[in-house]
Amino acid sequence: MTTNPHDRRLADLARILGLERNLLEYLLYKLVAARLLMAGTDPRYIIQSLVEVEDALDRVRVIAGKREAALTEIARAVGLERDQLTISRLAEMASPATRFVMYELKHEYVRLAHQIEQVSSDNKRLADLALSTTAEVLKNLAGSPAGVTYDQRGSSHQAQPRPVRLDEVI
C-alpha cells in the first residue's frame, strides 16, 4: 500500500477545518442569541451579546488564518496556486477517511454560511428598527414643532417646545 505524501498535511487541514466549523457553529449560536435579545422586550444584555458575537468573530478570524497558512503550504507542496485548491479538489487528493471528512465539512460549511447570512440579515433588520425607534423616541422627548400659537404681541408663530430632561419628567 502506497501512502500519499500529502496525507498528513491534508489530515491536519481537515482538523483545522473541523475546528473552524465548530467556531462557525458557535458564531451562529451567538448571532441567534443576539437576535432573540434584540427581538425581546428587555434590552439589558444586547450590548454584552454583541460583544460576544465580536469575540466569536475574532476566534473565527484566527482559525481562518491557520487554515490559509495550511492551504498555502499544501498548494506549494503539490505545485498549485492557492486559489486552485477547493475542498473538493483537496478531497480528491486525500486518503478515503480524510476525503469523507472533507466532503462532510464542505456540506457543513454551505449550511452554516447560509444560516449565518440569514441570521445576520435578521439582526441587521432588528438593529435598524431599534435605531429608528430610538431616534423617534429621542425626537419626541426633545420636542418637535407642536403647532401654531400666539406670542405676547398677538402674532402667530410655530411653537417650539423646549427639550426636557428625562429625569425631570419621571
Q: Note whether 110 and 103 are within 8 A (CB).
A: no
Task: Please indicate, yes or no, whether the overall pTM of this predicted structure exceeds 0.75.
Answer: no
Short-list 122, 118, 121, 111, CA closest to 21: 111
* pLDDT tens for each residue of the chain, 170 residues long: 446 777 889 999 999 999 999 999 999 999 999 999 888 878 788 889 989 999 999 999 999 999 999 999 999 998 999 989 998 899 998 889 889 999 999 999 999 999 999 999 898 888 888 777 666 766 766 655 455 555 556 555 555 555 555 455 44
Tell me which amino acid residue 142 is.
Answer: A
Q: What pLDDT, on a 0 to 100 scale, did the predictor assign at position 45?
A: 87
What distance in Å separates the CA atoms of residue 24 and residue 91, rounded to the nearest whole number?
21
Q: What pLDDT, on a 0 to 100 scale, did the predictor assign at position 1?
A: 43
C-alpha cell at 10: 491534508
> What are the CA-CA distances from residue 151 to residues 69, 147, 155, 159, 163 (Å)?
74, 13, 6, 9, 19
Q: Note whether 31 and 123 are within 8 A (CB).
A: yes
Beta strands in 3-79 (DSSP E): none
Short-list 73, 97, 101, CA closest to 87: 101
DSSP bridge partners of 157: 149
Q: What pLDDT, on a 0 to 100 scale, did the predictor assign at position 119?
A: 94
